Amino acid sequence: MRFGLTMLLLLVVAGAVEARVRMTGDLPRRDGRPLEDLAGLETEYGAVRTSDGTRLRTILTRPEGASGRLPVIFIAQWVSCGSIEFRPGRETLPRLLAQRSGMAMIRVDRSGSGDSEGAPCSALDYDTEVRHYREALDRLARHPWIDPDRIVIHGISLGTTTAPFIAAGRRVAGLLVQGGGAFSYLERMINFDRLCLERSGRYPPETWQDEMIRRIAFHQDYLIGGRTPAEIAAARPELAGVWASINGAEPDSHYGRPFAWHQQAARRNFAASWARIDAPVMVVHGGFDQFEPRASHRLIVDIVNRAHPGSAVLHDIPQASHDLQIFPTEAAAFAGEGGEDRPELFLDPAIAWLRRVTGLSHAAR
């Protein structure tokens, strides 16, 4: 009797999980990993095929028990490679946003990441990444869970730079971006180096000027000139040691991405892309962001409001790092030491803004 009840309970639980999480399409699961299963969410694993034939894994979530078409958050990922699946035990801000916003969410694993086919993410260039995102959104906007008139693009870190290109020419309900701005990519990388010099503790102030002069010259050749670090070192011996001192530098990649990714990003006009946006925008800045300065975040707001007054807002989170952990000092944030998770500092204002721009009527979960 007890065995029978136990088996019945297991079948009921298994049935509930199957109803909450499912896989569609013919893209196989890689490495036999279990499917993502989060309390309060219904999850659908699917796939889209891009114009170059690459099948990309898609992951859609919506509040459990929801029906009909919902407003949706489309995630534009940060620069570093890796699957955008939510891992067990890691309460990241995107995961909490999916669980608490009351909205659907779309995530797309980039080429070679997670279950996605194609070249590895480490070889994926910027232009192809943007094109893949746009094509995936074109397909997924027709999904029965999704209200195509209430799509919000959420760019995270360097996803802030891809977000306006994903939205280009499309009617969107808004753009929510965090950890990035509208400065040119050349300026962005120069600012990375400036903040490293000031906050890492490895360089005394009297060296900063000479270091910056060398790094600016290096980035000009690398990002604008299109040379590889090895080519720069061979042509300009005085810059030979610069590459090794730059954050994220590897012999054949930068932040895990090919040199072409960064060089293509440097050819993009970020300010112009934001000037074409006709939708509400919320920009979130961490006061101790170790990569992108506040002025670059602010520039998005100023550009959008110049064309559409009052449609863009800047939300500052004091003492927050690039990933919005709270730190006692800028140096601690740069080192990643002693951070505190305060997700409500982002989630509360972001969800309130999302509800306003999408007209979401029910309370956030």
| 139 and 155 inside one domain | yes
Closest CA to 222 of 230, 147, 126: 230
Q: How many domains are contained in the chain?
A: 2
Among 246, 265, 284, the domain-final residue is 265
Within-domain flag for 137: yes
pTM, to two decimals: 0.92
Please report the pLDDT score of residue 14 as a whole number: 42
Max mean pLDDT among 1-15, 86-100, 350-364 falls in 86-100
Q: What is the DSSP code (8-state) at residue 221?
A: I
C-alpha–C-alpha distance, residues 91 and 95, integer Å: 6
pLDDT tens digits along 46-59: 999 999 999 999 99
270 CA to centre of own chain = 16
Domain with residue 325: its CATH number is 3.40.50.1820
Pick 17 or 33 by higher pLDDT.
33
Same domain, 54 and 175: yes
DSSP per residue, 82-123: S--SPPTT---HHHHHHHHSSSEEEEEPPTTSTT--SS-GGG
331: containing domain: 20-27+37-183+269-358
Q: At which of 265, 294, 328 does a domain end?
A: 265
Q: Do residue 149 and residue 281 come from a single domain?
A: yes
State residue 18's pLDDT score. Answer: 53
pLDDT tens-place string over residues 149-192? 999 999 999 999 999 999 999 999 999 999 999 999 999 999 99
Indicate the residue among 265, 280, 310 that finishes a domain: 265
164 and 194 in a single domain? The answer is no
Within-domain flag for 3: no
Say if residue 302 is in the same domain as residue 318. Answer: yes
Co-location of 111 and 214 in the same domain: no
Is the same domain home to 67 and 178?
yes
Does 150 lie in the same domain as 59? yes
Same domain, 319 and 242: no
Q: Are residues 191 and 335 in the same domain?
A: no
Contact 148, 72 (CB under 8 A): no
Identify the band that residue 15 occupies on the pLDDT scale cut at 50, 70 and 90: very low
Q: Give residue-wise pLDDT tens across range 305-331.
A: 999 999 999 999 999 999 999 999 999
Of 32-41, 215-224, 228-237, where does mean pLDDT reach its minimum?
32-41
* Same-domain pairing of 211 and 277: no
Residues 66, 160 share a domain: yes
